[in-house]
Amino acid sequence: MPNASPLVTVMMAAARKGARVLSRDFGEVENLQVSRKGPADFVTAADRMCEEKIHESLRHDRPGYGYLLEERGEVQGSDKTHRFIIDPLDGTTNFLHGNPHFAISIGVERDGVLHAGVIYDLMRDEMFFAETGQGAYLLDSRGIEKRLRTPNRDDLATCLIATGTPWLGKPGHAQFLKELHKVMARCAGIRRNGSAALDLAWLAAGRFDGYWERGLQPWDIAAGIVIAREAGLVVQDLDTGNDTPMESGNILCAGKALLPRLQEHLAV
């Protein structure tokens, strides 16, 4: 992995250690589907155990770093310049239903600015990674490393767009339906796959052309933002156009040529 720095290599190793927990437990989900209790408690335990494995690995290799963890929240470190942002299971509902589309996401901030990201799709054995100024890459299941450079398409009619929908208990259903109606009438197709991290990774790999979603958490998108930007995409706040999707949780991502066209139709 010539394009992976020591820091990214450490992050990748931690993701693989966490993946062992998820891959083992994913095999049990189908059995739990038929039980009266259901798999929800089991998946929560798997999520937490995976997070602990990742935390343990990173703590060993980068002692002193701080953490923002989905399950445990903020963990202060003696090194105030670095913070890992971790989602041990992005795509929990998919995992819960035996749907093999989920990922481990690890981002890192340096002096409060996103610096590197790793997203591991363990079911496909695809490792997406990037570091600021070093480009974005995919290490596939064959061990082949590929530089990610997204095509700069500008015709929305030929583009495949990814999104995330608000579910039960989340606000914004009416607004999303307005946005969906506008975009779906003008693009080649829309996909809702259920993992924000993989949406951004797949966008960087050219499998999607644009992506928007509201109400996300920092750990959902930290790694993906770095990977997308290093692949040549623009990532911004969906409503303001500012560089604040980590703060607002509302994200829009596309190539420079397509962005204004997509942005126009998302203005409700």
- In the prediction, which pLDDT does 84 show? 98
Instruction: Give me the phi and psi of 57, to 5 degrees please.
Output: -65, -45
CA–CA gap between residue 86 and residue 116 (Å, rounded): 12
Q: What's the predicted TM-score (pTM) here?
A: 0.94
Q: Residue 25 carries which side chain, given as an amino acid letter? A: D
**pLDDT of the chain along its 268 residues, tens only?**
678 999 999 999 999 999 999 998 887 776 665 444 455 566 778 889 999 999 999 999 999 999 999 888 999 999 999 999 999 999 988 988 889 999 999 999 999 999 999 999 999 999 999 999 999 999 999 999 999 998 889 999 999 999 999 988 888 999 999 999 999 999 999 999 999 999 999 999 999 999 999 999 999 999 999 999 999 999 999 999 999 999 999 999 999 999 999 999 997 5
Angle value at C-alpha 7, between 5 and 210, nearest 5 degrees: 80
Query: How many of the other CB atoms lie within 10 Å of CB of 177?
Result: 13
- In the prediction, which pLDDT does 173 show? 93
CA–CA gap between residue 65 and residue 77 (Å, rounded): 5
178: enclosing H helix or E strand: helix 173-184
Cα Dmax for the chain: 52
Does residue 55 contact residue 86 with C-beta atoms inside 8 Å? yes
Give the start-end residues of each E strand in 170-267: 189-191, 210-213, 234-237, 251-254
- In the prediction, which pLDDT does 168 show? 82
Give how far the C-alpha of residue 146 lies from the chain's centroid of Cα atoms, to the nearest Å: 19
- In the prediction, which pLDDT does 30 show? 61
Contacts 24+ apart (CB under 8 A), 176-182: 176/214, 178/268, 179/212, 179/265, 179/266, 179/268, 182/265, 182/266, 182/268
Catalogue all structural domains in the chain, each as residue range(s) with its CATH number: 6-148 (3.30.540.10), 156-266 (3.40.190.80)
Let me know how many helices (H) and strands (E) the chain has, helices first: 8, 13
- In the prediction, which pLDDT does 260 show? 94
